[in-house]
Amino acid sequence: MTTLARRPAARILLTDDQDRVLLFRFDAGDRPPFWATPGGAIDPGESFAAAARRELREETGLDLDCGPEVHRRTVTFTTLENVPVIAEERYFRVSAGACTIDTAGHTELERRVMQAHRWFARDELTGWPETIFPEDLSAILEHSDDQ
């Protein structure tokens, strides 16, 4: 039996002035490409909210208040570094308006596997030919609209 490492993470539901959501395309080579929201693991001693703001800044170049948490989930998966984890993910909704994404703050791993990003209209999320994480992103966005 494999022991799962705990991985608390902050994820960002970043929307623009057209209510599109930003996703990054991950292409690790050892698995099919997939799309995911900005975000990542929290650093030791860091709060989820602080991690959300840091991840947003590092991955998009935007230094914005991430507001309150709008969703949480626990999932198991194998990281891009091949570590099996149980991830406690907390989601933060951020409206960026019209903006330009700057990926200069990406880590070496992110530069290698996150070579594309795209703003998705909500109706594009269902039926997209590649996997999108979280799988229920449309429902999470809809729920966060009400908050």
Exposure string of 113-128, with b = 16+ CB inside 10 Å and e = fewer, is bbeeeebbeeeebeee
Q: Sorting pLDDT into bands at 50, 70 and 90, what band is 1?
A: low
CA-to-CA separations, 51 to 3, 66, 113, in angstroms, rounded = 25, 10, 21
Q: What digits encode the pLDDT tens for the residues 16-66? A: 999 999 999 999 888 999 999 999 999 999 999 999 999 999 999 999 999
Percent of the chain having pLDDT more than 70?
A: 99
Residue 117 has pLDDT above 90, yes or no: yes
Which amino acid would we find at residue 137? L
- The whole-model pTM stands at 0.94
Pick the CATH number of 5-141 from 3.90.79.10, 3.20.20.70, 3.30.43.10, 3.30.360.10: 3.90.79.10
Which whole number is the average pLDDT over 115-136? 95
Q: How many CB atoms lie within 10 A of CB 81?
A: 8
| Mean of per-residue pLDDT scores for the chain | 94
Which amino acid would we find at residue 37? T
